[in-house]
Amino acid sequence: MIERTFVLLKPDAVQRGLMGEIVGRLEGKGLKPVAMKFMRIPKELAERHYAEHKGKSFFSGLIEYITSGPVLCMVWEGENAVASVRTMMGKTNPQDAAPGTIRGDLCQQTGRNAVHGSDSVESARREIGNFFNDYEIQEWKRSVDPWLFE
Protein backbone atom coordinates (compact mmCIF):
# COMPACT_ATOMS: atom_id res chain seq x y z
CA MET A 1 0.00 0.00 0.00
CA ILE A 2 1.37 3.40 -0.99
CA GLU A 3 1.36 5.74 1.99
CA ARG A 4 3.04 8.87 3.27
CA THR A 5 5.13 9.37 6.37
CA PHE A 6 6.65 12.33 8.17
CA VAL A 7 10.41 12.36 8.82
CA LEU A 8 12.21 14.98 10.90
CA LEU A 9 16.00 15.28 10.92
CA LYS A 10 16.73 16.66 14.35
CA PRO A 11 19.21 19.42 15.28
CA ASP A 12 22.00 16.90 15.96
CA ALA A 13 21.67 15.43 12.44
CA VAL A 14 21.80 18.93 10.92
CA GLN A 15 24.77 20.05 13.04
CA ARG A 16 26.70 16.84 12.30
CA GLY A 17 26.21 17.16 8.54
CA LEU A 18 24.12 13.98 8.24
CA MET A 19 21.23 15.36 6.19
CA GLY A 20 22.59 14.20 2.84
CA GLU A 21 23.39 10.71 4.05
CA ILE A 22 19.98 10.19 5.65
CA VAL A 23 18.09 11.60 2.66
CA GLY A 24 20.24 9.40 0.43
CA ARG A 25 19.34 6.30 2.43
CA LEU A 26 15.63 7.10 2.12
CA GLU A 27 15.93 7.69 -1.62
CA GLY A 28 18.07 4.59 -2.03
CA LYS A 29 15.31 2.54 -0.42
CA GLY A 30 12.99 3.70 -3.19
CA LEU A 31 10.94 6.15 -1.14
CA LYS A 32 9.90 9.32 -2.94
CA PRO A 33 10.26 12.76 -1.35
CA VAL A 34 7.11 14.83 -1.77
CA ALA A 35 7.90 17.72 0.62
CA MET A 36 10.93 19.15 2.43
CA LYS A 37 11.32 22.19 4.63
CA PHE A 38 14.41 23.45 6.46
CA MET A 39 13.27 25.40 9.51
CA ARG A 40 13.61 26.15 13.18
CA ILE A 41 10.60 24.77 15.04
CA PRO A 42 8.71 27.31 17.17
CA LYS A 43 8.07 26.21 20.76
CA GLU A 44 4.28 26.01 20.27
CA LEU A 45 4.66 23.67 17.27
CA ALA A 46 7.22 21.53 19.12
CA GLU A 47 4.82 21.13 22.04
CA ARG A 48 2.01 20.14 19.68
CA HIS A 49 4.27 17.69 17.83
CA TYR A 50 5.38 15.96 21.04
CA ALA A 51 2.05 16.36 22.89
CA GLU A 52 1.89 12.65 23.82
CA HIS A 53 4.99 13.16 25.99
CA LYS A 54 3.61 16.15 27.92
CA GLY A 55 3.92 15.54 31.66
CA LYS A 56 6.85 13.13 31.29
CA SER A 57 10.14 13.97 32.97
CA PHE A 58 11.98 14.48 29.68
CA PHE A 59 9.36 16.71 27.99
CA SER A 60 10.84 20.15 28.75
CA GLY A 61 14.34 19.00 27.77
CA LEU A 62 12.98 17.53 24.54
CA ILE A 63 11.24 20.79 23.65
CA GLU A 64 14.35 22.81 24.47
CA TYR A 65 16.48 20.49 22.33
CA ILE A 66 14.18 20.25 19.27
CA THR A 67 13.85 24.06 19.15
CA SER A 68 17.59 24.66 19.68
CA GLY A 69 18.57 24.71 16.01
CA PRO A 70 17.38 24.07 12.48
CA VAL A 71 15.73 20.81 11.47
CA LEU A 72 14.80 19.24 8.13
CA CYS A 73 11.11 18.31 7.92
CA MET A 74 10.13 15.92 5.16
CA VAL A 75 7.26 13.90 3.75
CA TRP A 76 8.16 10.63 2.05
CA GLU A 77 5.88 8.45 -0.02
CA GLY A 78 6.15 4.77 -0.85
CA GLU A 79 4.92 1.27 -0.31
CA ASN A 80 4.44 0.81 3.46
CA ALA A 81 6.41 4.03 3.97
CA VAL A 82 5.71 4.30 7.71
CA ALA A 83 7.04 0.82 8.53
CA SER A 84 9.91 1.14 6.05
CA VAL A 85 11.19 4.35 7.62
CA ARG A 86 10.75 2.99 11.15
CA THR A 87 12.84 -0.04 10.24
CA MET A 88 15.49 2.10 8.57
CA MET A 89 15.71 4.39 11.63
CA GLY A 90 16.32 1.56 14.10
CA LYS A 91 15.38 1.43 17.76
CA THR A 92 15.00 4.69 19.68
CA ASN A 93 18.09 3.98 21.78
CA PRO A 94 21.01 3.85 19.34
CA GLN A 95 22.81 1.40 21.65
CA ASP A 96 20.00 -1.09 20.89
CA ALA A 97 19.65 -0.23 17.20
CA ALA A 98 20.88 -2.77 14.67
CA PRO A 99 23.90 -2.09 12.48
CA GLY A 100 22.72 -0.86 9.10
CA THR A 101 20.03 1.37 10.61
CA ILE A 102 20.38 5.14 10.75
CA ARG A 103 20.57 5.20 14.54
CA GLY A 104 22.67 2.03 14.75
CA ASP A 105 25.26 3.42 12.35
CA LEU A 106 25.26 7.13 13.12
CA CYS A 107 24.15 7.77 16.71
CA GLN A 108 25.30 7.20 20.30
CA GLN A 109 22.50 8.31 22.68
CA THR A 110 18.70 8.35 22.78
CA GLY A 111 18.67 12.12 23.34
CA ARG A 112 20.70 12.63 20.14
CA ASN A 113 19.24 9.98 17.85
CA ALA A 114 19.16 12.15 14.71
CA VAL A 115 15.75 11.31 13.29
CA HIS A 116 12.04 11.16 14.05
CA GLY A 117 9.62 9.15 11.93
CA SER A 118 5.86 8.73 12.25
CA ASP A 119 4.85 5.58 14.13
CA SER A 120 1.54 5.02 12.27
CA VAL A 121 -0.38 6.22 9.24
CA GLU A 122 -2.63 8.23 11.58
CA SER A 123 0.37 9.89 13.26
CA ALA A 124 1.85 10.62 9.84
CA ARG A 125 -1.31 12.45 8.76
CA ARG A 126 -1.32 14.53 11.94
CA GLU A 127 2.40 15.30 11.81
CA ILE A 128 2.35 16.15 8.11
CA GLY A 129 -0.57 18.50 8.78
CA ASN A 130 1.35 20.18 11.61
CA PHE A 131 4.34 20.98 9.41
CA PHE A 132 3.06 21.30 5.83
CA ASN A 133 0.24 22.98 3.93
CA ASP A 134 -1.35 21.10 1.03
CA TYR A 135 0.40 23.29 -1.56
CA GLU A 136 3.81 22.38 -0.14
CA ILE A 137 3.31 18.67 -0.86
CA GLN A 138 4.11 17.74 -4.44
CA GLU A 139 2.39 15.12 -6.57
CA TRP A 140 4.85 13.86 -9.17
CA LYS A 141 5.77 10.77 -11.16
CA ARG A 142 9.26 9.29 -11.22
CA SER A 143 10.52 7.56 -14.35
CA VAL A 144 12.31 5.00 -12.14
CA ASP A 145 9.11 3.68 -10.52
CA PRO A 146 8.65 0.77 -12.98
CA TRP A 147 12.11 -0.40 -11.93
CA LEU A 148 11.12 -0.34 -8.26
CA PHE A 149 7.57 -1.68 -8.36
CA GLU A 150 5.96 -4.51 -10.32
Q: Which residues are catalytic?
A: 116
User: Crossing angle for the helix pair 19-29 and 81-89, nearest 10 degrees?
Assistant: 130
DSSP symbols for 39-106: E---HHHHHHHTGGGTTSTTHHHHHHHHTSS-EEEEEEEEETHHHHHHHHH--SSTTTSPTTSHHHHH
Name the nearest CA neighbour of 117 among 94, 98, 149, 91.
91
Run of H or E including 122: helix 121-131
Residues 6 or more apart whose Cβ sits within 8 Å of residue 89: 97, 101, 102, 103, 115, 117
